[in-house]
Structure 1
Amino acid sequence: MKLDFEKYFEDAKLGYYRIMVIIQGDNALDNTIQLVQQYLEKNKESKIAYAFHPWINGSKNRLNQFKEKIGKIVDIDYSSSEKYLGETFNVVILDAIDDFRPNYISRLTDLASGGGLIVLYSNDISRGKLYKESITRDGKVKDLFEERFLSLAKQHRGIAVIENQEVFFKPFNSSESNKPLKGKNSAKISKAIYSLCVSNDQVKLIEEFSNFFNLRGKRIFSVTAPRGRGKSAGVGLALAEFIKKRRDPITVYITSPSYFSSYSILDFLLKGLDALGIRYRRVISKEGKIMKVTAGEAIVRWTSPDLAKDANADMLIVDEAGSLGVEYLENYVSKWEKVALITTVYGYEGSNKAFIKFLDSLNQSNLQRLKLTYPIRYAKGDPVEKFINDVMLFEVEPSYSVQDSVSEIRQEDLFSNEKLLKEVYGVLVTAHYRNSPDDLMFLGDMPNQRIFAYGSSAVAQVLEEGNLAYEKIHEIYEGKELEGNLIPERIVKYARLKEFGLFKGLRVMRIAVSPSLQGRGYGSKLLQHIEEVALSEGYDWIGSSFLGDVKVLSFWLKNGFIPVYMASKKNEGLGGYSIIVIKPLNKQIEQLAKNLYSLLKDKILRTSHQVYFNINPIILLKILSCCKIEKKFEIPESYRDKILAYVNGILPYNSVAEAVHSILVKYFYLLPIHLDDIELGVLIARCLQGKSWYHLSIILGINQSKAEKILKDALGKLMQIDI
């Protein structure tokens, strides 16, 4: 079959926009090779990327066929594709024979430059795919995401769909796109740095960053932009410019969810230093990562988000800040004198509306904000960017209408009504700080899923779990994972409670309220309806699993849910500890939940200094204060005397630590009086977690010099009662 796209390739090059071709069918491989060969006839020096899963049988054979007929290709493993985010290619080939995953499609299409070609080829995007198998339950899975993907592809201009012998293509025209613009050289930055800028937006970023560097006092600088606007590159160039002009020693830390998220900053820092003729030294890890750059008396280094909380330097730059979560950001803003928060909006990292809401909550007099809009890798108006934005719903906005009723929505009805889909998905993504395109496929294709909506102001995604066969429970007990049964799996495996797996429940995977309507009780009303449905249909429990966050945990506790599990290891990818809460719907589960809570409380009280040292002490406080548990304790009289001696300044804290720990354990079991959150937070942080006065003052937002007085006052109150 002759795929004649020659004239469209020429127009794309003229207009600096990209063309995407989706090829399906038995001849997909041959058709893709033929199409790429046609592109290369007029673009011989093209840089080509090929993305696939190299470890799956047959995948390397397909790659080798491309290499034999096309030539040099950069092969990219989907699983580690994040490291290529800073690179640009003329041709990007996505092998979707083994996998068709929204995250990979969204990430890798962005590598193609203006005038380039993106080809996604597969025998059938709905069948035999790795990610889809992970959301298949009992042999069942839906195709709603794929059907919508192909339907929109056939409607969008500049996107071609080839299915066996049939071609669907609505051409795009170069007159509708605009190349990146850059005006006359700025008098505020060096000519060498200006020459590396691609757009006026980048020039403005460097100028404003220079102002931010030089302002005295506590300052926050935020840069937001859709992907492909050159924000990270601009920050790197701005650092190079600043190093050239700065005479005093300076140390700058860079952090991000992963090293590769901020690679472009370091890469363009080096390019900027080279252009300016500034000599530098690099410290490179065994994996080839640039960990530190020294230029004269300036030091720039990358560190992990956790270590950044305790680092001490002149400035902190946080790339993809919106993916870290509010707790990290609050810590950085509280501790650091100068913080630059850089993040993508409307991309595969999520809409980051929660990040924007966080910025709005800050002292605006200390905040300098910049938004970049002009793309640099391709023209403004690029049809591929529009298609990806539309098909992945990157720019979706929530509805703010309020209706006093709850409805259950079928997945088929949701994906056949674009307006309804946007309303529902808009609430889900804007109310959560961490989202990805995979969420949309999950919403459409995952079976055993129920969707409840309170008007269009609150939405809940609910999964059926439990009711497991004995052999499945035994497999979990022996360490085997069971997809789609998160809560039973964790409780059976880690709490060693086989019985729980026999009961059936509803896990609220995600519940969200439109940001402007939060705090009005809509989420609680939605939960109440789900509970009524669960009771009427004979379920044993309702539960949820989420990353430890004070506000989120408080919401679930307020609605009568009981903490029954907290992960012993931090999820580094998500940046937190998972917590499971359940609400019993019968007496059997009520007793099981009480036992599980007692075990969790005991674990926190015994191991916080080791297992939960890095968690926010207020999260531990919320869990420990949830329920009273009757338990007998004998506190030696000498312990009371030692504590009073400490309170009165006779003995130092380290001399009475065991006595304080003992009485604190008794307090959290019996909960005899109410101390305020700061008092209890200090007690937990210092006496259970073993944090220093310095660290607990930062995490709790209190003056370090007052921390010990708060501790003594709290202990004094405990000594006044019979505990």
Structure 2
Amino acid sequence: MTADLAAALRDEARRANQRRLLVLAGAHEACRSAAREALAGAGIDDAATTLVATREGAALGCERVAPKNADALLGTTRECVVLDCHDECRPNALGRAVGAVDGGGLFVLLTPPLDDWPDRRDGFDATLAVTPFDADDVAGNFRSRLVETLRTHRGIAIVDVDTGTVERDGRTDPSPQSPGSAPSVPVDSEFPRAAYEACLTADQADCLDAFERLRTPGNALVVEADRGRGKSSAAGLAAGAFAAAGQRVVVTAPGFESAGAVFERARSLLGSIDALAGSDRDDRPHRVDAVSGGQVRFESPSVAVESAASADLVVVDEAAALPVDLLEGFLDTPAVAFVTTVHGYEGAGRGFSVRFRGRLDDSTLDVAESRLDEPIRYAAGDPVEVWAFRALCLDARPPVDPLVTDATPGTVTYERLDPRGLLADEHRLREAFGLLVAAHYRTEPNDLARLLDAPNVSVHVLLQEGHVVSVALLAREGGLPADRRRAVYEGSRIKGHLLPDVLTSQLRDEGAGVTVGQRVLRIATHDAARSRGLGSCLLDSVRERIETDWLGVGYGATPELVDFWRRNGFSTVYLATTRNERSGEHSVLMLDPLTDDGEALRDRHAQWFVERVGGTLSDSLRELDPDIVRAVLAATPTTADHDCSPYEWRVVASAAHGPGLAKTHPHVFRRVALAHLTDPGSTALSAREERLLVMRVLQSRPTSVIAAELGYDSQRECLRGLGDAYESLIERYGDEAARAERARYVD
């Protein structure tokens, strides 16, 4: 039965050049045995199959990938992927597994009995159950929704292996597919002819042609497509063509696995035209060398930003999965291509287009666009793609602009969304999740399950005439028992409690986990209603309705974000000394106390932050953007101590007004600088003077570098500017000794 059904599905999939989905539901071992029968019946070889499962399966002889490592499937194509969901149903793994199945192939899903599945708890549920909750507290809403989509979408067969019943045969009797448009070689092409002959669709050839303009410095290209349209392959062919011409290409992406297709196609092209250097080796997948001396090499985003100016071309693959401020670092590149997925867990195309495109268009680069719509791995209308988009909300969108354009704090209403209510209201779920997808580069299918099922997470929205215009996800943290606090202090980690974990383990405060707080995981406002105070309105509404000691937040620091959270009552308590490998930013933690206990926690950590930040700025944070330094220091509720002895004030005043030298007593000048930068009432200096203060006094950067960056005509003028700044600071903070010293040099 199972073998015959699988054979029929595979035959239909091949005729339509689409994919089909086979659900085998029931006892674990019975599902594994049925999967083996299905593969045999469909004529799919073990070598063309991947099992995604937590355990090896005796019934399947193919390769296995653990669900948490399913990103290894990115950039690969398989005739069949079997996803075993008995031990855990990980949404990210589901998205990555289905995306690897080629046209004419089968996606086989092994599940517990479908009616029982939502009520069972598995390994992924355990990741959602953070202290004080356990797996029994996790809801099954995501799997309830998943089962409903499996039972209603086309192209999905369901077999109850325990009873031998075929619930659905999954056959669609598709109409014959018309062939796609054939690619052609442009008449004036300078790329190798073999590059165009390697294209599979006209869309892909047109995209490759668009890459040719990047041979001229000062150009940028934006490539957008849904998954499976060949955008990364087109980028790889272009990169290979550049390397063949002797040029240096830097490829970056959130991870190397995301850029695998780029390197595969670059290497293949160079090999086909006998341009692959003999030194190119399989054990060096991150680099491809050409006999011309050209090269294609992968670098992590934070490293690629630093080396971009020395490359002839930078290809940013899955660009929407990188933060806007990191993407801006590539705008000084001679030529750059931003390749991005429109819908998908890799990133949000709309967030990329709305947040970054304006900055790209305002740059000095001449920008062109290319969009690929024609599927390559499978034919248009593939029912499995339609199902995956719906099941994982990959195509979820915020409300259309006209519905929320008039939203203001005075017109919106606040609501805390119940997960069961969201499960029953597909429209509102897609609006809320779509808003998160559009605004946050890291939103992924796991977050959909977290929103629907995690017991520590709550969803808060502002509605404009019933439509979601602003959304926030909050997670409960803290309230840890003494033994857990002690364990964290002594080196253990505790998942799901970011702020207590960092404040305890890194900042050595064993009492940080006593209070209970709510951390803002995500907050987003519709782009058609931004800059009207709706985010602040939502935070105010949350404060009024929750009982907790504090609100907290952790994020990659930018001046604009720090200023937003400061304006909303949040204070800096921690600034990471290393960059996040994925975002290239330094993380900052902030607290907004709502009770006396929360205020005590905030105050002691703010004080400790001010006391230690001077040392880190002259060491590990020496290259940090001075505007970020200014912002995080301005967001402290504690003003640094500026008390100096009479002797110390004479040193400062003589350096500002007379022959004294700041470098003989740098600690005194740092103390005064920190006093100003943490003083909310001080307006003594301009923004330029504050940047000078940060870079020279706190970060000890070379004067020549500072003068060039801040626009001083010479190093002498730069140092004179520093003296002028300290004259103003002496006027505000100096004592009688400082004024007496000043009087010796000033009439």
TM-score (norm 1): 0.89
Q: Secondary structure at the match of 1:610?
A: coil
Rate the CA distance shift 1:631–1:514 in 2: closer, same or farther, 3 A.
Answer: same
1:410-468 per-position Cα deviation (integer Å, ceiling 9, x unaligned): 11001111011111111121121221111101011101332211101001112223233
| Matched-pair contact (CA < 8 Å) for 1:679–1:711 | no
Q: Which moved more, 1:578-587 or 1:406-415?
A: 578-587
Q: How far apart in 1 are the matches of 2:108 and 2:420?
A: 29
Of the candidates 603, 609, 622, which is equivalent to residue 618 of structure 2? 609
Rate the CA distance shift 1:278–1:496 in 2: closer, same or farther, 3 A.
Answer: closer
Q: How far apart in 1 are the matches of 2:486 and 2:125?
A: 26
Residue 103 of structure 1: CA displacement?
0.8
Of the candidates 329, 332, 337, which is equivalent to residue 331 of structure 1? 329
Rate the CA distance shift 1:28–1:12 in 2: closer, same or farther, 3 A.
Answer: same
Q: Secondary structure at the match of 1:385?
A: helix
Q: Which amino acid aligns with 2:377?
A: R
Rate the CA distance shift 1:169–1:618 in 2: closer, same or farther, 3 A.
Answer: farther
What does 1:610-649 align with in structure 2 at a 5 Å threshold?
610-613=619-622, 615-626=624-635, 627-629=637-639, 631-634=641-644, 635=648, 637-642=650-655
Residue 309, structure 1, aligned to residue 312, structure 2: no
Of the candidates 74, 87, 94, which is equivalent to residue 83 of structure 2? 94
Which residue of structure 1 aligns with residue 224 of structure 2? 224
| Matched-pair contact (CA < 8 Å) for 2:14–2:104 | yes
Q: How far apart in 2 are the matches of 1:135 and 1:227?
A: 28
Q: Which amino acid aligns with 1:78?
A: P
Q: How far apart in 1 are the matches of 2:372 and 2:658?
A: 60
Which residue of structure 1 aligns with residue 42 of structure 2? 39
Q: Which moved more, 1:675-684 or 1:342-351?
A: 675-684
Of the candidates 193, 196, 199, which is equivalent to residue 197 of structure 1? 199
Rate the CA distance shift 1:464–1:300 in 2: closer, same or farther, 3 A.
Answer: closer
Residue 508 of structure 1: CA displacement?
1.9
Q: Secondary structure at the match of 2:369?
A: strand
Residue 473 of structure 1: CA displacement?
2.2
Q: Secondary structure at the match of 1:300?
A: strand
Q: How far apart in 2 are the matches of 1:507 and 1:290?
A: 38
Rate the CA distance shift 1:694–1:129 in 2: closer, same or farther, 3 A.
Answer: farther
Residue 421, structure 1, aligned to residue 434, structure 2: no
What does 1:15-414 align with in structure 2 at a 5 Å threshold?
15-26=16-27, 27-40=30-43, 43=44, 47-53=48-54, 59-60=55-56, 62=57, 64-67=58-61, 73-123=62-112, 126=118, 127-137=120-130, 138-139=133-134, 140-163=137-160, 164-165=162-163, 166=165, 167-175=167-175, 180-187=180-187, 188=189, 190-214=192-216, 216=217, 218-244=218-244, 246=245, 250-282=247-279, 288-311=284-307, 312-333=310-331, 335-357=332-354, 358-363=356-361, 366-399=366-399, 400=401, 401=404, 402=407, 403-414=411-422
Q: Which amino acid aligns with 1:207?
A: D
Q: Secondary structure at the match of 1:604?
A: helix
Q: Which moved more, 1:702-711 or 1:162-171?
A: 702-711
Rate the CA distance shift 1:122–1:682 in 2: closer, same or farther, 3 A.
Answer: farther
Residue 79 of structure 1: CA displacement?
3.7
| Matched-pair contact (CA < 8 Å) for 1:254–1:319 | yes
Which residue of structure 2 aligns with residue 683 of structure 1? 693
Residue 480, structure 1, aligned to residue 480, structure 2: no
Q: Secondary structure at the match of 1:500?
A: coil
Residue 291 of structure 1: CA displacement?
2.6
Q: Secondary structure at the match of 2:157?
A: strand
Q: Secondary structure at the match of 2:171?
A: coil
Residue 430, structure 1, aligned to residue 419, structure 2: no
Residue 296 of structure 1: CA displacement?
1.1
Aligned-residue sequence identity (percent) comes to 25
Residue 184 of structure 1: CA displacement?
4.1
| Matched-pair contact (CA < 8 Å) for 1:210–1:242 | no
Residue 329 of structure 1: CA displacement?
1.1
Residue 665, structure 1, aligned to residue 703, structure 2: no
| Matched-pair contact (CA < 8 Å) for 1:406–1:454 | yes
Residue 705 of structure 1: CA displacement?
6.3
Rate the CA distance shift 1:477–1:184 in 2: closer, same or farther, 3 A.
Answer: closer
Q: Secondary structure at the match of 1:457?
A: strand
Q: How far apart in 2 are the matches of 1:183 and 1:714?
A: 62
Q: How far apart in 1 are the matches of 2:724 and 2:322?
A: 38
Q: Which moved more, 1:159-168 or 1:417-426?
A: 159-168
Q: Which moved more, 1:525-534 or 1:78-87?
A: 78-87
Rate the CA distance shift 1:313–1:658 in 2: closer, same or farther, 3 A.
Answer: farther
What does 1:524-673 align with in structure 2 at a 5 Å threshold?
524-534=536-546, 537=547, 539-613=548-622, 615-626=624-635, 627-629=637-639, 631-634=641-644, 635=648, 637-642=650-655, 660-670=669-679, 672-673=682-683
Q: Secondary structure at the match of 2:619?
A: coil
Q: How far apart in 2 are the matches of 1:587 and 1:530?
A: 18
Rate the CA distance shift 1:183–1:339 in 2: closer, same or farther, 3 A.
Answer: closer
Rate the CA distance shift 1:721–1:629 in 2: closer, same or farther, 3 A.
Answer: closer
Q: How far apart in 1 are the matches of 2:329 and 2:209?
A: 27
Residue 17 of structure 1: CA displacement?
0.2
1:8-38 per-position Cα deviation (integer Å, ceiling 9, x unaligned): 3212101100011222211211221111111
| Matched-pair contact (CA < 8 Å) for 2:15–2:176 | no
Q: How far apart in 2 are the matches of 1:239 and 1:618?
A: 36
Which residue of structure 1 aligns with residue 738 of structure 2? none
Structure 2, unmatched stretches of 5+, are: 734-747
What does 1:424-503 align with in structure 2 at a 5 Å threshold?
424-455=432-463, 456-503=468-515
Q: Which moved more, 1:78-87 or 1:510-519?
A: 78-87
Q: How far apart in 2 are the matches of 1:497 and 1:574?
A: 28
Rate the CA distance shift 1:656–1:482 in 2: closer, same or farther, 3 A.
Answer: closer
Residue 321 of structure 1: CA displacement?
1.7
Q: Which amino acid aligns with 2:48?
A: K
Rate the CA distance shift 1:574–1:360 in 2: closer, same or farther, 3 A.
Answer: closer
Q: Which amino acid aligns with 1:667?
A: H
| Matched-pair contact (CA < 8 Å) for 1:352–1:434 | no
1:140-197 per-position Cα deviation (integer Å, ceiling 9, x unaligned): 1000001101101111101223344342344233327555432444433543222211
| Matched-pair contact (CA < 8 Å) for 2:477–2:519 | yes
Which residue of structure 2 aligns with residue 509 of structure 1? 521
Q: Which amino acid aligns with 1:75?
A: R
| Matched-pair contact (CA < 8 Å) for 2:13–2:104 | yes
Residue 322 of structure 1: CA displacement?
1.7
Q: How far apart in 2 are the matches of 1:680 and 1:169?
A: 70
Q: Secondary structure at the match of 2:428?
A: helix
Please tell me the root mean square deviation across aligned C-alpha atoms, in Å: 2.9
Q: Secondary structure at the match of 1:4?
A: helix
Rate the CA distance shift 1:342–1:131 in 2: closer, same or farther, 3 A.
Answer: same
Residue 697 of structure 1: CA displacement?
8.9
Residue 297 of structure 1: CA displacement?
3.6
Q: How far apart in 1 are the matches of 2:603 and 2:593?
A: 10
Number of residue-to-residue matches in the alignment: 693
| Matched-pair contact (CA < 8 Å) for 1:109–1:118 | yes
| Matched-pair contact (CA < 8 Å) for 2:183–2:199 | no
1:560-613 per-position Cα deviation (integer Å, ceiling 9, x unaligned): 111222334433245433322221112332233122112122222211233334
Q: How far apart in 2 are the matches of 1:695 and 1:121?
A: 60
Q: Which moved more, 1:623-632 or 1:706-715?
A: 706-715
| Matched-pair contact (CA < 8 Å) for 1:675–1:714 | no
